[in-house]
Amino acid sequence: MASDNLAGIGEAIRNAAAAYADALTAVGNALREMTGAAAGSDRDRLVENWLRVARMSKDGVITALEQGFEMWEREIRRTVAVARGASPERPSNPFDLWAENWRRTTESFGNTGAWGDEARKQVETVQKTLQDGLRAWQRLWEPEKK
């Protein structure tokens, strides 16, 4: 009954879970590298920023799963509406907001002293890992571009 847009939901769930595991590993490694560094306000800010990255990773995956279900339900309803001759609207893309939040978080690492540049590069790597894993969700969410 549902359209071909739903065919990739299982794979999207697997990719999101793998991306989340990879992101947590990267964050854990970054924090482990900092354990030998001298304590101070720069290190404390970096730890908080990394925890924020981990939290955003979790929130991104949970949002993707929730959106996946909502997409499934919406697609079922759309299919029924089309059969009745109606044309429902497509809601805005939640990945745009997620990307903006990541941009701001990445920028926050630039203000953390000597470790800032390296931490920013690591955060960008974590973001890319998550984006790659969530790409299947994003493809399902976005309408086909002609």
pLDDT digit string (tens) for 1-30? 445 556 677 777 788 888 889 888 988 888
Average pLDDT, the chain: 75
Break the chain down into helix, strand, coil percent, rounded to 5: 80, 0, 20
How many residues comprise the chain? Answer: 146
Q: Is residue 103 part of a domain?
A: yes
Range of the domain at 108: 4-141
**What is the predicted pLDDT for the residue at 146?**
47
Region 33-53 average pLDDT: 81
Lowest pLDDT segment from 53-57, 95-99, 104-108, 139-143: 139-143
DSSP state of 40: S
Q: Is residue 27 part of a domain?
A: yes
pLDDT in tens, 128-139: 877 777 777 667
Q: Is residue 146 part of a domain?
A: no
